[in-house]
Chains A and B, each alone.
Chain A
Amino acid sequence: MGTRVAVNQVLRLAVRNATISTLCPRQFGRYYLQSRWCCSSTNQATQHNQDLNPPSGIPVTELSLRSFIDMGFTESQAEQIYESLANVRRGDSAKHILPTLTALFVLGLNPSSVKKCLEKCPELYTIKEAQLQQRISNLRKMGLVEGSLQRVVAHYPRILTVPLKRVKNVVMFLKEKCLFTSQQVTDIIRDCPAVVLENLDQLEYKFQYVYFRMGVKQAEMVKCRLFRYSLDEVRCRHTFLERRGLYETPDKKGQTTIINPSLDSILNVDQDTFLAHVAQASAEEYDVFKRLAAREWQEEELQQGRTEPDSDDEDDDEDVDDDDDIEAKSGYGKRRKK
């Protein structure tokens, strides 16, 4: 069934349910009951009993398995949606499901994409219609054109659960703190929508890391979809290269004594390719390195949290250790004193 048909079906259903529910509750009850018959649930008997007397709180916009099939979902898809709906129902009502489905179909997603969205993000079942519309139109306003918008939603449906204010904050942050252009921000949201939920301090740190330590400019960050990767993924590969002598931080004039590999060749390849072609290292080395680096960074953070640096610079010139051994007692402190 084509998307348009599905949309029509959903809309029709929405209208009809609304009418039925207001005009003739009893009739709706029968409709509801009838639909449950079609349900191929395993424990029909018990369910049947419950269904005979639906509790009064039950939402008026109940949908049947049939109605999902009518929308264009296959039988098994319909069943799955139906079941997950039943799970969500407990808390809030599933009264938002119809507008959500409508919105997704109107966007142009086909039934199987819609189902995947719901699967990836069950919160969609409970979003208010007005909010949903606001969020979608905000994404449009940000310049996500048709096609992009669909892809973003299909790939990252959670974006529809993020409050408008939060999205706007992130956009502001990217523009003002990181100096991305509007178009670049649009591209970032399109390629790395999860960025809207990232902690801004961490985002800033990641940006600064790549900008200052790696000397990569905004345009390249966008092109390489930097924000798809976590800080640790980025700095793990970068630090590995840096320690091997294969990556240099550019000086003030932007110059390096070696040619740095591109951000793209560092990030957008699998580990084997990265090791073989960029780092020219063995998997064993990288494996050990990852474990060491994780520990180093963890300790760095702890240390920074505990003491402020830059203040302990008294010099003890004579009694210092400049050789390869340490005493057992002194343990592993980075700065060995006395």
Chain B
Amino acid sequence: MALLWDTSLLLRKVKDLRCLTPRRHRVKEKWAATRPKLPPTRLAVHHFDATYSTQLGQLWPSVRLAMLSERKYGALLNNFSHNAVLAELKAQGCIDFISEREREVPSCLEEKSEEPSDVSMKSSDVDGEQLSLSPNIKCLVFPRGDVTRFKPARPDKNSLLGYYLMDAASLLPCLALDVQEGHSVLDLCAAPGGKTLALLQTQAIRFLCINDSSVSRTLRLRKVLHSYVPKQLLTNENLRITSFDGTKWGEIESNTFDRVLVDVPCTTDRHSLMEDDNNIFSKSRTGERRRLPQLQLELLLAGIQAACPGGEILYSTCTLSQNQNLSVVEQAIYQAREKDGIHLQVVDLRPLTRMFGNTFHFAPDLHLGEMVIPHLAANFGPIYMCKLKRLT
């Protein structure tokens, strides 16, 4: 008898589960009818299935799975905050993926297999030149396969937050930009400001130009900066925040900056797969989406013009799309030479992929630039980046 009581008790208890079962799953009619016919997220999946399965081949199912699952974040440490977050996060099991690289992928092995004799476009950079990473950029992540989440950052006594949560792979473009003491830097499409904040952490920049064409997003960027950077560092002498159309930058201020970050708007693949709100695959934004590669090209060209001769430009996106990545860079290199007479050299980023091969999955065999591809155990990216150096 005891058993039967147990059962009925149990049944009564789980009865309430009904209100927990997702509403749309409860009754048949609902199940079939709730979703609109083809929400933008579905359109995005279809689009990606068509293009990325050919582009990535056998890797696509893994990348797809990762992008449709919860992403991982990194905590960009705020050096301006007085909270002891570094020790705190390390105690939770986090590692600073930038300084605590376990062991680099041995470069000799890779070199042997990939560089037989001829000098490709990629290895045109001075041989053996290592990337100098700013020691001030620290980013904590939970180890591979660990899906623990970060808690929201807390303000310190000056109400500056201890860390900024962002895709850890987004830091690679900042690291690759290789900002040096005294540089003047342009961040052409900066909002909401994650990469800007990382650049400011280096404390090496003489003057930082922060721009984003969207006024509301620029406002958000200002808020971010004020939550992370002390007021005395946010003066007109140090930086300038604008909301111009970046494509016109070459006309405003050409041959000026030592470093230019061109982090363009793109199909934001992850967002497009996960959120129907504000989705670039919604029918009403088809035109805008089709025009993206052209806009990206114009932004990159503007960035190239804004850099000084000898300066370096870093182009980055958070899409896997070849049309928005390699093709844009190829076009830009061509047009810069043809139209503006600017000669560019592609900077080899393989030192970077070697350094961080333990933290990120990089797409193999890209003939131009490098790309972090998402993988469930290291669910960062996608991030594409390509670095150019102005020779003239």
Interface residue ranges, A against B (CB under 8 Å): 91-92, 123, 126, 161-163, 166, 197, 199, 201-202, 204-205, 208-209, 212, 240, 243-246, 280-281, 284-285, 287-289, 291-293, 295-296, 300-302, 304-305, 308-310, 315, 317-332, 335
A147 to chain B minimum Cβ distance, whole angstroms, is 27
- B contact set with A: CB distance below 8 Å: 1-4, 7, 10-11, 14-15, 17-26, 28, 31-32, 34, 49, 53, 60-62, 64-65, 68-70, 73, 75, 145, 147, 149, 151-153, 161, 163-167, 170, 192-195, 214, 216-217, 219-220, 224, 227, 265, 268, 270-271, 275, 277-280, 318, 375-377, 383
Known contacts A301-B21, A304-B22, A328-B153; 14 additional CB pairs below 8 A are A208-B25, A209-B25, A212-B32, A243-B68, A244-B61, A244-B65, A245-B61, A280-B61, A305-B19, A323-B318, A327-B192, A327-B224, A327-B227, A329-B153
Is the pair A295, B147 in contact by a Cβ cutoff of 8 Å?
A: yes
C-alpha gap A91/B2 in the complex (Å): 10
By a CB distance below 8 angstroms, the chain B residues around A243 are 64-65, 68-69
Closest 3 A/B residue pairs (Cβ): A325-B194, A328-B153, A244-B61
CB-based contact B21/A304 at 8 Å? yes
Contact assessment for B145 and A284 in the assembled complex, using a CB-CB cutoff below 8 Å: yes
Q: How far apart are the CA atoms of A317 and B279 in the complex, in Å?
A: 11
CA distance in complex: A242, B75 (Å): 31
> Chain B residues with Cβ under 8 A from A284's Cβ?
145, 376-377
Asked if B270 contacts A324 (CB within 8 A), the reply is yes
Given A285-B62, A329-B152, A335-B277, decide whether A323 and B70 contact each other with a Cβ distance below 8 A: no
In Å, the complex CA distance between A92 and B4 comes to 14
Instruction: Give the distance to chain A from B36, nearest Cβ to Cβ, in Å.
Output: 12
B23 CB contact (under 8 Å) in A309, A327, A330:
A309
- Most B CB within 10 A of own CB, among A295, A296, A319, A324: A324
Give the contacting residue for B70; candidates A197, A296, A308; CB below 8 A.
A296
**Cross-chain contact B376 with A328 (CB below 8 angstroms):** no
Shortest Cβ distance from residue A306 to the other chain B in the assembled complex, whole angstroms: 10
Give B149's nearest chain A residue, CB to CB: A332
Show 25 A/B contacts (Cβ-Cβ < 8 Å), sorted by A: A197-B7, A201-B14, A201-B18, A202-B21, A205-B26, A240-B65, A246-B61, A288-B147, A289-B69, A292-B69, A292-B147, A295-B147, A300-B22, A301-B20, A322-B268, A322-B280, A323-B265, A323-B271, A324-B166, A324-B167, A324-B268, A325-B166, A325-B192, A328-B152, A328-B164
A194 to chain B, nearest CB (A): 12
Q: List the A side residues contacting B163 at CB < 8 Å.
A: 328
Chain A residues positioned under 8 Å from B220 (CB to CB): 319, 327
Chain B residues with CB under 8 A of A324: 166-167, 170, 194, 268, 270-271, 318, 383
Known: A126-B1, A292-B70, A322-B268. A202 touches B28 (CB 8 A): no
Min Cβ gap A99→B in Å is 16
Kindly list chain A residues whose C-beta atoms are within 8 Å of the C-beta of B20: 301-302, 304-305
The complex places the Cα of A212 from the Cα of B163 at a distance, in Å, of 44
List, in ascending order, chain A residues with CB within 8 A of B25's CB: 205, 208-209
Complex Cα gap A123–B225 (Å): 67
Q: Which of A162, A212, A327 has most chain B Cβ within 10 Å?
A: A327
Tell me whether A208 and B31 are in contact (CB under 8 A). yes
Contacting residues, chain B, for A212 (C-beta < 8 A): 28, 31-32
From B17, B18, B34, B277, A320 is in contact (CB under 8 Å) with B277
